[in-house]
Amino acid sequence: MKRVILLSLLVCSAAAAAEPSQNTRPLHDKEGHVIGSETDRNGDGKYDVFKHFLKGRNLVLKESDTNFDGKIDKRELLEWSADKKISVPVNGRMQFIPNPGYVALRTEQDTDFDGKIDVYKERGNKSPSKDRIGKPI
């Protein structure tokens, strides 16, 4: 029994050490209201993800430095959806269950890290305008 507990503790501590610590701090306006947040995803002391609340927390602009070079590589406009669902297997059949959360309305991404948009997506639009491609992110 002692070996099982010791092994379990060892596995848990190794898993915790493998993941970088995330440090998130809220951003406030002059009145003290939370207007966003900054997150250091890889623990290097530099913030990599920035969230700006546009309509309370219902609409969020999320900007990310995905390769940790100090430059924004991905920008998403996210909207809270209480109607969001996920599919899960139940008795051998897929069923949809509620899973409230944010959905991406628009995504811009610089995949080759040259500072210009390479991928542009809009929710509900299978062929979004290509005029955003090549513009600075």
Tokens linked to 34: 């939370």
> What is the pTM assigned to this prediction?
0.76
110: number of Cβ within 10 Å: 20
Can you tell me the distance from the alpha carbon of 73 to that of 116, in angstroms, rounded to the nearest whole number?
Answer: 9
pLDDT tens track of the chain, all 137 residues? 444 443 444 444 444 444 445 799 999 999 999 999 999 999 999 999 999 999 888 999 999 999 999 999 999 999 999 999 999 999 999 999 999 999 999 999 999 999 999 999 999 998 888 888 989 98
CA torsion through residues 7, 10, 13, 18, sign: negative
Going from the C-alpha of 31 to that of each of 12, 28, 34, 35, the distances in angstroms are: 42, 8, 9, 10
Tokens linked to 104: 């991406």
Q: Where are the domains of the chain?
A: 21-132
Element (H, E) at 50: strand 49-53
